[in-house]
Amino acid sequence: MIDIKFLRENPDAVKENIRKKFQDEKLPLVDEVIRLDDESRRTQAEADELRSKRNRISKQIGALMAQGKKEEAAETKQEVSEINARIAELEPKEQELTEKIRSIMYTIPQMIDPSVPIGKDDSCNVEIERFGDPVVPEYPIPYHTDIMESFDGIDLDSAHKVAGNGFYYLLGDIARLHSAVLAYARDFMIDRGFTYVIPPYMIHSNVVTGVMSFPEMDAMMYKIEGEDLYLIGTSEHSMIGRFIDTINDEEKLPYTLTSYSPCFRKEKGAHGLEERGVYRIHQFEKQEMIVICRPEESKMWYDRLWQNTVDLFRSMDIPVRTLECCSGDLADLKVKSCDVEAWSPRQKKYFEVGSCSNLGDAQARRLRIRVKGADGRKYLAHTLNNTVVAPPRMLIALLENNYQEDGSVRIPEVLRPYMGGKSELRRKSE
């Protein structure tokens, strides 16, 4: 959510930003907010003036009574009564206008960074850099679930009976490999100075609306029936929510946190749930990284965050590339974002395994996450998040890039301590 003062003073810039996001239907909202804001400020000014006047003349009543001026005191009481009646009319109007403005401001996209490429959708995203050489072996690479099944490592049919499409059972060495990746990612981030956190897996609605846009919420979140609770779609939601209504000492920043959680997503309107695979699913686990920092440091932390993911994948010999998200592919709260994509030798192309985002002060403004400087001045923090690793997509990349011609899978050296020293997976029949 952008600053309404900025919108008031720069309506043309806000409209141009909306055009860059290809959301022209929202252009009239800028003028609507300005009109409502003007009415709100006039209403508040009148109410504040009346409250001040009421306080001032109320003090006169006792003095008039003490002087025996009962008639004047009665007239003053009547004036106070009339003022109270007018304030009672204005206060609901103040609240109504405030809520209308907030509702509209929640739908106006955050100002994007000038470096963001302009494009309508993800087809316009721009490759930044490749890390590692993508290899296509001379022998065929099976579909990822076929690889898993060759190790008796996945049961989709039973999961479909128990929970429906978009769920799975992982078994044996594949389940262990899944856990090994998460454990390694946890330790990787701790070694880089991040504090490990296990957060709540459910959050209240005010946190949901504080961390994401309404379209994202509708497409992703599962609500707990009869309660003000939602299952998190990523630990970023509860991690940022931890700082709601806080004033943080500047000298303690940045907060650098890495969190583990299961993630639950409706994936409304998404393609791929009917496929016999685990690329797009309703439930998965993820290691995330979160940063709360001063505004002037957010660009630097953005680059550090995506580099962490690249370094993690390269430590497992998986080729990756970074892709700059264009304006039309950015969620409304994001200032800048890039995807990390891993190489798929089976598909002979890259696929998304993580996303790094700088949200500027958007989440901080919604959740009132402030910083107190050394001079006592208070200002909004900046928030960033990035995927460290998210199995089972990570498993797809790992299995495909380490699949051997004889059907075995090489275990990257950094994962072997988490796999009991195993250097490879071999089929159960061997």
Q: What is the pTM of this model?
A: 0.90
Kindly tell me if the per-residue pLDDT of 233 is higher than 70: yes
Write the pLDDT tens digit of every residue in 322-363.
999 999 999 999 999 999 999 999 999 999 999 999 999 999
- At 127, phi and psi to the nearest 5? -65, 135
Average pLDDT over residues 166-179: 95
Determine the pLDDT at residue 280.
Answer: 86
Kindly tell me if the per-residue pLDDT of 198 is higher than 70: yes
Determine the pLDDT at residue 26.
Answer: 97
Calculate what percentage of the chain has a pLDDT beyond 70.
Answer: 97
Q: Quick one: tokens of 338?
A: 């890039």
Task: Could you please state the CATH topology (level 3) that the domain comprising 4-105 is classified under.
Answer: Helix Hairpins (1.10.287)
Q: Which residue reads 């006169």 in tokens?
A: 60
Determine the pLDDT at residue 298.
Answer: 97
Write the pLDDT tens digit of every residue in 1-22.
899 999 999 999 999 999 999 9
More confident site: 10 or 76: 10
Write the pLDDT tens digit of every residue in 375-424.
999 999 999 999 999 988 999 999 999 999 999 999 999 999 999 999 99
Average pLDDT over residues 301-316: 97
Average pLDDT over residues 236-263: 97
Contacts of 235 (CB under 8 A, 6+ apart): 197, 199, 259, 260, 261, 263, 286, 288, 290
Query: Which has the closest alpha carbon to 22: 326, 356, 271?
Result: 326
More confident site: 77 or 91: 91
122-425 CATH pick, 3.30.2310.20, 3.90.1300.10, 3.30.930.10, 3.40.605.10: 3.30.930.10
Residue 82 confidence class, pLDDT cut points 50, 70, 90: confident
Kindly tell me if the per-residue pLDDT of 59 is higher than 60: yes
Calculate what percentage of the chain has a pLDDT beyond 90.
Answer: 83
Query: Which has the closest alpha carbon to 302: 227, 222, 385, 229?
Result: 385
Residue 257, CA distances (Å) to 194, 249, 314, 399 in order? 5, 17, 22, 28
Determine the pLDDT at residue 13.
Answer: 97
Determine the pLDDT at residue 114.
Answer: 96
Determine the pLDDT at residue 269.
Answer: 56
Alpha carbon distance 194, 289 (integer Å): 8
Kindly tell me if the per-residue pLDDT of 273 is higher than 60: no
Kindly tell me if the per-residue pLDDT of 267 is higher than 70: yes
Alpha carbon distance 260, 239 (integer Å): 10
Per the CB < 8 A criterion, the answer to whether 179 and 170 are in contact is: no
Write the pLDDT tens digit of every residue in 126-141.
999 999 999 999 999 9
The residue extents of the domains of the chain are: 4-105, 122-425
Determine the pLDDT at residue 216.
Answer: 81
Per the CB < 8 A criterion, the answer to whether 20 and 112 are in contact is: yes
Alpha carbon distance 236, 34 (integer Å): 32
